[in-house]
């Protein structure tokens, strides 16, 4: 069975490198990017199945990265990650993100959401389910 | 100027809580990775596996506790965002309990909230509303003997929204005294919010009743 390829994007590099190792131990093929610009380069090069994308980053914002990914590679599933309560998570889902998760995340929940995204499972009520991103 | 100061305080506090949550996320993933490495290693290859897992479990629990605290502080900070905003009654009661829990516990008082049986929201100043409710909780906790209880609930109100802070247990003094001690200090604030404070005495549940006259939705 082919491994799910995941790109983890966050300027908190210690966070994504630990998370990538944990996912790799569980049979994923995870790589990391520390900025929006680096993420776009890696998405163009390898077109991962899923991009886990931090919303707030220095330089190019997560929402801008999301728009560019969805325009160039609409098949790539994007899951937003935010450490702050804001409407950006909801906006991201409206702009094509599959889901929005709050930091810190539970790895089991993350794996489930990524699997659902890749399998094309529809969310029942995306806005309601993303209320957690609007504290 | 006051609004400017509050806005600044809220903005900085909210920003710092986001950073705290980022830090906690790194600790959580790092301890999670250590735990994974132990779990995925061959049995018997690491002599202190059980002790390490126990310590990592404690780190995990405390990080999650920190996340809850940071989230509450973040919500408190955002209460200063706007002088007039939509306030959800259930969220307000929960936040008051979260913010005042430690203070009540130190006085040996149990502070809880009973969720409203319907969704109620109204327009108000969230920060000042918190200030009034937390002040009342603090005074009530001071008046109760250790072992007492304060229960936040929302009884039906003919006009507007009501929040009752019911007290249970032995008291050091009668609640009537609040009209001369606490209420005058909150008078301007309560009036500006379009609310009323009153002492509730038997046969109705004993406590303090805050009525938001503007009306709920």
The rounded distance, in Å, linking the Cα atoms of A46 and A1 is 19
Beta strands in B40-173 (DSSP E): 85-88, 110-113, 121-124, 149-153, 161-168
Name the pLDDT band for B110 (thresholds 50, 70, 90): very high
Respond yes or no on whether the N-terminal peptide bond of residue B14 is cis (omega within 30° of 0).
no
Inform me whether the pLDDT recorded for A135 exceeds 50: no
Say whether pLDDT at B151 is over 50.
yes
Instruction: Tell me the ipTM for this assembly.
Output: 0.82
Contacting residues for B3 by C-beta, under 8 A, at least 6 apart: B83
Residue A32: CB atoms within 10 A of its CB come to 21
Question: Nearest-CA neighbor of A84 among A109, A113, A51, A56?
Answer: A56
Instruction: Give the best residue of A22, A86, A104, A131 to mutate against chain B (max B CB count within 10 A).
Output: A104
Q: Name residues whose C-beta falls within 8 Å of residue A70's C-beta, 6 or more positions apart in sequence.
A: A76, A78, A95, A96
Interface of A to B at Cβ within 8 Å reads 12, 14-15, 18-19, 21-22, 25, 56, 83-85, 103-105, 107, 135
User: Which residue's structure tokens are 């539970």?
Assistant: A106
State CA B167 to chain mean position distance: 17
Nearest to A104 among B28, B36, B75 (CB): B28
Residue B18 above 60 pLDDT?
yes
pLDDT digits (tens, 9 = 90+) for B67-85: 999 999 999 999 998 889 9
Q: Which of A15, A84, A104 sits opposite B67 (nearest CB)?
A: A104
Over residues B33-52, the mean pLDDT reads 89
| Mutant choice from B13, B15, B26 vs A, greatest count of A C-beta within 10 A | B26
């Amino acid at each position: 069975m082919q491994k799910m390829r995941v790109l983890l994007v966050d300027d908190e590099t210690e966070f994504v490198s630990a998370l990538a190792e944990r996912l790799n131990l569980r049979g994923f093929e995870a790589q990391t990017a520390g900025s929006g610009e680096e993420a776009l380069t890696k998405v163009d090069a390898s077109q991962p199945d899923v991009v886990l994308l931090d919303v707030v980053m220095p330089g190019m914002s997560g929402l801008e990265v999301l728009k560019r990914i969805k325009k160039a590679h609409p098949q790539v599933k994007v899951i937003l990650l935010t450490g702050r309560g804001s409407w950006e998570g909801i906006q991201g889902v409206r702009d094509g993100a599959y889901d929005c998760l709050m930091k810190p995340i539970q790895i089991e929940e993350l794996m489930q959401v990524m699997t659902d995204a890749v399998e094309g499972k529809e969310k029942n009520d995306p806005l309601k389910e993303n209320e957690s991103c609007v504290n | 100027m006051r609004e400017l100061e509050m806005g600044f305080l809220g903005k900085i506090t909210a920003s710092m809580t986001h950073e705290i949550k980022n830090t906690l996320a790194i600790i959580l993933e790092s301890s999670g990775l250590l735990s994974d490495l132990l779990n995925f290693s061959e049995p018997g290859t690491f002599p202190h596996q059980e002790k390490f897992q126990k310590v990592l479990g404690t780190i995990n629990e405390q990080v999650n506790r920190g996340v809850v605290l940071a989230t509450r502080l973040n919500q408190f900070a955002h209460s200063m965002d706007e002088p007039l905003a939509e306030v959800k009654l259930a969220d307000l009661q929960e936040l008051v309990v979260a913010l005042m829990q430690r203070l009540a516990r130190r006085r040996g008082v149990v502070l809880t909230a009973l969720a409203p049986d319907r969704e109620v929201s109204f327009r108000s100043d969230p920060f000042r509303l918190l200030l009034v409710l937390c002040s009342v909780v603090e005074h009530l906790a001071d008046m109760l003997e250790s072992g007492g209880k304060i229960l936040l609930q929302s009884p039906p109100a003919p006009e507007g929204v009501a929040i009752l802070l019911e007290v249970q247990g032995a008291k050091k003094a009668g609640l009537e005294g609040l009209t001369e001690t606490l209420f005058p200090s909150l008078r301007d604030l309560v009036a500006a919010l379009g609310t009323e404070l009153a002492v509730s005495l038997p046969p109705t549940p004993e406590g303090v009743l805050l009525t938001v006259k503007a009306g709920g939705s």
